Amino acid sequence: MSIIVLGTVALDTVKTPQGLRKNMLGGSAVHFSMSARVFTPVNLVAIVGRDFPQRHIRFLKERGIILASLICDSGKTFRWEGEYQGDLNCAITKNTQLGVLLKFCPRVSRQQKGIKNVFLANVDPDLQNRLLDCLDSPQLVALDSMNYWIEHKPKPLLRLLKRVDIYLANDQEARALSGEHNLIKAAKYLNRLGPQMVLIKKGEHGVIFYCPGFIISLPAYPTDKVVDPTGAGDTFAGGFMGYLCGKKKLSQANIKKAIAYGTIAASFNVEGFGVEKTAGLCWRDLEKRLFQFKKILAF
């Protein structure tokens, strides 16, 4: 079963204690695709400007990403410039140029309307709602959002929460939207807003998953080679959703395994700038590290 991802395709400039990279291929939909593609065909819905390098298009195509709904329009590609200092959990945004993102109206091809699995990566909730309107009968819809939208577009975001099955938020977002500091209380609150399942991402501290009657808490895969955490959350989501797409049942066992795959995928992402370490990611890499992760957790 294939998946459709709505998000950004960006040119990222990132500075971390490990160095500086300018105009790298980035964006939420790209990071998601790099891990989801290991499990399932990925249909990318996004917009880029005429300045978007052809080599990045080739790069995505070579990795099997389906670009039928990647719009290329006049104007500049979305650019993000950020810096990480001591605390690699927390990006400092230096500059954002929305460019063509300002006129983005997502559309999908006729063949894509029937796709059952959807990931709404972080973009304007109005666009996320619109993508759902385009689809015939999505069955598993996951939503990622951001503090910015919680503050600036609470109404469309709340409407969206009633239309999705899984809400992925980071700890700050979960606390901001729920008003609860304890993350399990926060997850329970978010669950009552609509999504059957809530997954809270805690960066270097792993994730908490909640659905009524069922809690999972897993640490991050321990690594001291953190180079650039940009896109780790989306890479997690790609592994998580990619694995779930192939499963008939959302059983506890499948959800746990999906979280573990997401965790492992994210651990590769942080070990290089941009998509350096996920560009060549394959099933074997994931399996090898998953085995180590299991060993770490078993007692």
Which parts of this chain interact with its own copies (CB under 8 A)? 86-88, 181-185, 188, 202, 204-206, 208, 215-224, 226, 253, 256-257, 259-260, 294, 296-299
Shortest reach from residue 101's CB to its own copies, in Å: 32
Shortest reach from residue 193's CB to its own copies, in Å: 17
Q: Which is nearer to its own copies, 70 or 220 (CB)?
A: 220
Shortest reach from residue 110's CB to its own copies, in Å: 38
Start-to-end CA span in the chain (Å): 35
Q: Which is nearer to its own copies, 157 or 258 (CB)?
A: 258
In the chain the beta strands, taken as DSSP E runs, fall at: 3-6, 10-16, 19-26, 42-49, 66-73, 79-83, 92-97, 117-120, 140-144, 166-170, 197-201, 207-211, 214-218
- 40: which 2 tokens? 């399932």
Q: Which is nearer to its own copies, 22 or 294 (CB)?
A: 294
227 Cβ contact list (under 8 Å, min separation 6)? 16, 18, 19, 270, 271, 272, 273, 276
Q: Is the dihedral of CA 240, 195, 117, 59 positive or negative?
A: negative
Q: Which is nearer to its own copies, 2 or 147 (CB)?
A: 147
Shortest reach from residue 85's CB to its own copies, in Å: 9
Shortest reach from residue 279's CB to its own copies, in Å: 24
d(CA 72, CA 51): 9
Q: Which is nearer to its own copies, 183 or 245 (CB)?
A: 183
Q: Which is nearer to its own copies, 72 or 176 (CB)?
A: 176
Shortest reach from residue 97's CB to its own copies, in Å: 29
Identify the three-state secondary structure at position 14: strand
Neighbours of 219 (CB within 10 A): 14
d(CA 27, CA 44): 12
CA distances from 137 to 39, 80, 113, 156 (A): 22, 34, 8, 20
Q: Are 252 and 214 in contact (CB under 8 A)?
A: yes
Shortest reach from residue 272's CB to its own copies, in Å: 15
Q: Which is nearer to its own copies, 62 or 224 (CB)?
A: 224
* DSSP 3-state percent helix, strand, coil across the chain (nearest 5): 40, 25, 35
